[in-house]
Copies of this chain bind each other. A is one copy, B any other.
Amino acid sequence: MPSPSGQALSAQNSAAEQSRTPDTRVVIGMIGLGTVGSGVFKIFRDHPDIFFQKIAVRDASKIRNIDDVDTELLSQDPFAVVRDPETQVVVELMGGAELARELVTEALNHGKHVVTANKELIAKFGPELFDLARKNNVRLLFEGAVAGGIPIIMPLKLSLGANRIQRVAGILNGTTNYILTKMTQEGWTFERALSEAQAKGFAEADPTNDVEGFDVAYKISVLALIAFKQVVDPLSIFREGITRITAEDIQHARELGYVIKLIGLAQMEDDGRLDIRVHPMLVPNEHPLSNTQNEFNAIFVKGDAVGDVMFYGRGAGEMPTASAVAADILAIATGLLKGNEPIPSMIIDPATPANLLPMSETTSKYYLRLNAQDRPKVVGHLGNACGDAGVSLEALMQKGINPDGTASIVLLTKSVTEQQMNQALESIRGQASTAEIGCLLRVL
């Protein structure tokens, strides 16, 4: 329940909007002063119109990266920050879903606009929070939740608003893109690239969230919500990480004219089912996503009118993500400060639960690397196994002899269903000549 002071403020805000009486400054309550929070503070600390009322931190005595943050500003009670009667905009930068949900709910119910960069929050609880924002006639903006500084949420919602979106495909995780770039450019193993990323602070000590694709699953779920107005539980998304990819696979892909990237993909089938998944893909060299290196992110969007568009930039980091959060704050502030310049119409429409296309029915071209006995007829057997499953081959290449005497073989199929490919794979696995299935990857 909103507190009396919250209701009063909400009514006051709403009245201010009606009568177009401009405020003289915008009062911010921020939750979290980590990497992104520090960046937001730096952007606005000398801004004439933006005023930080309170910043909730876990430990107010901790020494911070910002030399001029007044300790008077800090609070260890985030609920006091979101309920503060003076505060007009709550900026949630704490991360995590459960407590953030409570705090954002409280803020919205107290009539405060909310800006967040929390992908997990939006992926898990976006629809209920958008409803709450609509009910309270306040804005809930989240440009920083996906792909850091790259403008994607507002462009997708507004600039491409006249399009039926057909596909969103993104390189949405800087850690894995850095690892794959180093494996590609330097020939490093996954393990070496990962420890380099950890040494540089691009990867966490436990890299699971990044390298197993969980982070991308949250982000593609948020993008599907905007692009297709469909709610997808991020945990229900088919997900494969990049740990099984070898320097060999990257080399073979390169010879075939591809680079390997971890892709978050969401595309609408003609029958209204949503094909959404996260896994590494072979991206053709001529595809605009292919040139996205190191920690950069890029999001490719296909719309029925606009055709192919792409958005590229830094997907994480202090100032890039702060740039997105600050844009949302400014959008709200402009509306509050200038009576005749309203806040962008970023209200998110009610979404329906997605009808997911089962993974077995998805179609792709496949890349398969395997080791087989180096003896006659092996190629014929492989071709037969594929053919029996209805899988046509675009290429089949022997790539040399392994130390154990087996031959390394690479297949590239034509476009088939996952079910057909799995059937072919079962049959190949059952052949006496098959020593080991190496790596199965899909082609974008």
Q: Which residues of A contact B (CB under 8 A)?
A: 18, 20, 39, 43, 137, 143, 149-151, 154-155, 158-163, 286, 288, 290-293, 296, 303-314, 317, 319-320, 322-324, 326-327, 329-331, 334-335, 338, 340-345, 347
Contact = CB atoms under 8 A, between A and B. Distances in A.
A304 B314 CA distance: 13
Contacts of A343: 342, 345
A307 B149 CA distance: 8
Contact of A319 (B39, B155, B305, B344): B305
A345 B150 CA distance: 20
A159 B163 contact: no
A68 B311 CA distance: 36
Contacts of A307: 149, 313-314, 317, 319-320
Contacts of A319: 304-307
A317 B305 CA distance: 10
Contact of A303 (B154, B160, B303, B323): B323
A174 to B, nearest CB: 12
A309 B308 contact: no
Given A330-B161, A335-B345, A308 B313 contact: yes
Contact of A327 (B137, B158, B326, B342): B158
11 contacts: A149-B307, A151-B155, A159-B324, A303-B323, A306-B323, A308-B313, A309-B313, A310-B311, A311-B311, A341-B345, A341-B347
Contact of A305 (B154, B303, B311, B323): B323
Nearest to A134: B340
A328 to B, nearest CB: 9
B20 A160 contact: no
Given A309-B150, A313-B307, A290 B291 contact: yes
User: Which 6 A-B pairs give the minimum distances between C-beta atoms?
Assistant: A342-B342, A151-B159, A162-B326, A309-B313, A149-B306, A305-B323
A18 B312 CA distance: 39
B306 A320 contact: yes
Contact of A149 (B18, B309, B324, B342): B309
A407 B202 CA distance: 50
